Amino acid sequence: MEFQGPGGPLPYIPDDLTVVQFILDSHHPTRPVVNGLWPWMIEDATGRKIGGDEIRARTSGLANALSANWNIREDDVVCIFSTNHVDYPVAIWAIHRLGAIATGANPSYTQDELEYQLSITKSKAIIVHSEIYPVALAAARKVGISPERILFIDSKPKTTSSPHFAIGDFIADGLARPPSFIERRLQPGEAKEKLAFLSLSSGTTGRPKATLIPHYALIANVIQIAVCNRTNVKNISPDMQRYHVGEVGISGLPLYHIYGLVLNLHFLLFSGITLVMIPKFNFVEMLQSIQRYRINHLSIVPPMVVLLCKHPAVKDFDLSSVKTVVSAAAPLSAEITLHLSKVLPMATIGQGYGLTETCTALAFPEIGPRIATPGCAGILMSGVTARIVKADGSLAGFGEAGQLVVTGPSMAIGYLDNDQATKETFVNGYDSMCSMMIGAEHPPSWVYTGDEVIINQKYEVFVVDRIKELIKVKGFQVAPAELEGHLLDHPDVGDVCVVPIPDEYSGELPYAFVVLSGDAQQRVKKYPAEAVKIKEALCKRVSDTKIAYKHLAGVEFIEAIPKNPSGKLLRRVLRDQAKQMLAQGKLKFADKAPRAKL
């Protein structure tokens, strides 16, 4: 059977607007009308309030400067390599004013990782935070981006010489110039194909892929979330609306990540929620911000929930302003959910579910209950059509498990320059009834999520297991194949399989089972102390070149990697073995394993 998200048909989704035109220049029936004095953002460190008029002016000035000084044009790609900043959305929307494409990069990336993203996205320029400028400069030189095309999103360091600019100077220059570009209105239907973002998403077969996200996808998802939360519905009880104009949210999630980009940034601002912009997550500082600004809404991930439940500093702060907690990006256990309900007794608590490939949310917490059904990943949203495909290829019904396959108006359109991966994840076959439902002439493909789920008769989604081999660390995707390929280059490794192990704080951590090469086996046999040195060297090999959430929790030597007759790794066998060893206290962790210390 097919599962249609309850709530009726969606309102009109504009297909001739860019994201910036939708957010800054237009009105939609699901969007509440707000007072012109309402601050869109508050800079956490200073308390400075930033209104819509200032944001529009800064966006226009930056767009004009990017056009006049760097000749950024339609379909060029600009990389934003920065922690959260009040000018991060300004940078996104200025890029969109020019018809260009934004790609956000993780500010913790190593030089090699940033170089990879710049290379595959063919970025023409970089907007960077000064703290990580050396990484950006080194990566830019490797891919042929001129240092003259690096812009600081914050103040320019005094030690950095020309030709670099700070964003404030660039904006002033753009506002002082006559217009150097003409922003165009898209043709009807064009927003479904015109790219807004290249967002990186890890796959099971190697390094991250750039997901093609059109303007229509993000606009559609914002409207879907608004409908789900009854954002602008009149004459209903306030308790039946989750978000109200004038309330305050916080940007605890990074804006390069699809969750923070869509829900925390675009949806909250669309809904009239003031966004307190914190540069990057620091738990105690987040508690201070909640108390200082009387934060009402937390859109967070499970590791943050664990800290709210267990960190000793929580008792030192007044968190009574918190009205709602939405956790997503990884499963949240029933036990932790119930624990959080005691820490925040006045807040409603629930989970959402989505993917980069679906431009985030597919399911959202039900409005009404203070605590959503424990273990539930949310109610299927309006406009989403789902199938659950069982192992034999047949379609499951209510209460039956299988791989979740979805479609709807917010789907991405594939992966950049990766036809094979696109064909595996984005599959055609959307039937005419669904096409009519969302009013699409060229309806999107079905997205194979790689998650095994159950949907009950209330349309609640329960994630049972992950069919794809991704490891979720603090909500971030880690491809085992990427780490395996990296480890196989080491002369002491004959074979390797990386599996997830459960971790209360991070959700999962990558753990490597390694078959030693013949030479290494002989050394260990002759000198047993060599085993410790090899394990340390393998962990260091990963930590020296990969971002922190990809670091190995440990290494275990094994005689052979279990495989099926065709040679495919039987990853689940080792995953189950690792869980058993962990439960028995036999799993050994690296000295610097990425485990939480509260």
pLDDT tens profile 515-540: 999 899 999 999 999 999 999 999 99
Q: Residue 349 above 50 pLDDT?
A: yes
pLDDT tens profile 32-70: 998 878 899 999 999 999 999 999 999 999 999 999 999
With tokens 């007072």, the residue in question is: 35
- Residue 46 located in a structural domain: no
How far is Cα 371 from Cα 203, in angstroms, rounded to an integer?
33
User: 3-state class of 502 per DSSP?
Assistant: strand
Of 320-324, 349-353, 478-482, the one with minimum mean pLDDT is: 478-482
Which residue, 154, 162, 160, is CA-closest to 127? Answer: 154
- Residue 431 located in a structural domain: yes
Sequence letter at residue 187: Q
Which residue, 363, 335, 337, is CA-closest to 348? Answer: 337
Q: Into how many domains does the chain fold?
A: 3
| Same structural domain, 176 and 216 | no
| Same structural domain, 179 and 266 | no
How far is Cα 349 from Cα 367, in angstroms, rounded to an integer?
10
| Same structural domain, 179 and 218 | no
Q: Among residues 184, 202, 237, which one ends one of the domains?
A: 184
Q: Which domain holds residue 489?
A: 479-583
Question: Which residues have a Cβ under 8 Å from the Cβ of 326 and sit 6 or more positions away?
Answer: 263, 297, 298, 299, 300, 350, 351, 352, 364, 365
Residue 314: both structure tokens together: 């929580």
Q: Residue 161 above 50 pLDDT?
A: yes
pLDDT at site 500:
94
| Same structural domain, 253 and 398 | yes
Q: Residue 269 above 50 pLDDT?
A: yes
User: 3-state class of 249 per DSSP?
Assistant: strand
User: 3-state class of 140 per DSSP?
Assistant: helix
| Same structural domain, 447 and 495 | no
DSSP class of 274: E
| Same structural domain, 306 and 273 | yes
pLDDT at site 163:
61
Cross-strand partners of 197: 102, 213
- Residue 41 located in a structural domain: no
pLDDT tens profile 416-450: 999 999 999 999 843 333 333 333 445 668 999 99
CATH of the domain at 202: 3.40.50.12780
Say if residues 126 and 103 touch (Cβ distance below 8 Å): no
**Average pLDDT over every residue of 218-230:** 97
| Same structural domain, 76 and 164 | yes
Q: Residue 185 above 70 pLDDT?
A: yes
User: 3-state class of 450 per DSSP?
Assistant: strand
Highest mean pLDDT among 268-282, 433-447, 575-589: 268-282
| Same structural domain, 558 and 539 | yes
Identify the helix (H) or strand (E) that includes residue 435. Answer: helix 432-438
How far is Cα 497 from Cα 368, in angstroms, rounded to an integer?
44
| Same structural domain, 179 and 201 | no
pLDDT at site 257:
93
CATH of the domain at 102: 3.40.50.980
Of 29-38, 84-93, 429-438, 477-486, the one with minimum mean pLDDT is: 429-438
Q: Residue 567 above 60 pLDDT?
A: no
Q: Residue 488 above 90 pLDDT?
A: no
Sequence letter at residue 509: L
- Residue 415 located in a structural domain: yes
CATH of the domain at 505: 3.30.300.30
- Residue 526 located in a structural domain: yes
pLDDT at site 433:
31
How far is Cα 414 from Cα 334, in angstroms, rounded to an integer?
34
Taken in order 372, 375, 377, 380, is the CA torsion positive or negative? Answer: negative
How far is Cα 228 from Cα 379, in angstroms, rounded to an integer?
9
pLDDT tens profile 148-157: 999 999 987 7
| Same structural domain, 134 and 218 | no
pLDDT tens profile 550-559: 999 999 999 9
How far is Cα 568 from Cα 291, in angstroms, rounded to an integer?
52
- Residue 541 located in a structural domain: yes
Q: Among residues 130, 150, 184, which one ends one of the domains?
A: 184
130: left (phi over 0), alpha (psi -120 to 50) or beta: alpha
Q: Among residues 400, 431, 466, which one ends one of the domains?
A: 466
pLDDT at site 335:
79
pLDDT at site 475:
86
| Same structural domain, 326 and 426 | yes
- Residue 32 located in a structural domain: no
Residue 534: both structure tokens together: 């090899």
pLDDT tens profile 194-213: 999 999 986 555 688 999 99
**What confidence category does residue 273 fall into, taking pLDDT thresholds of 50, 70 and 90?**
very high
**How confident is the prediction for the chain on average, in pLDDT?**
91
Residue 39: both structure tokens together: 């601050």
| Count of positions (residues) in the chain | 598
**Average pLDDT over every residue of 481-487:** 85
- Residue 472 located in a structural domain: no
Strands 324-327 and 348-351: parallel
**Average pLDDT over every residue of 314-329:** 95
| Same structural domain, 151 and 243 | no
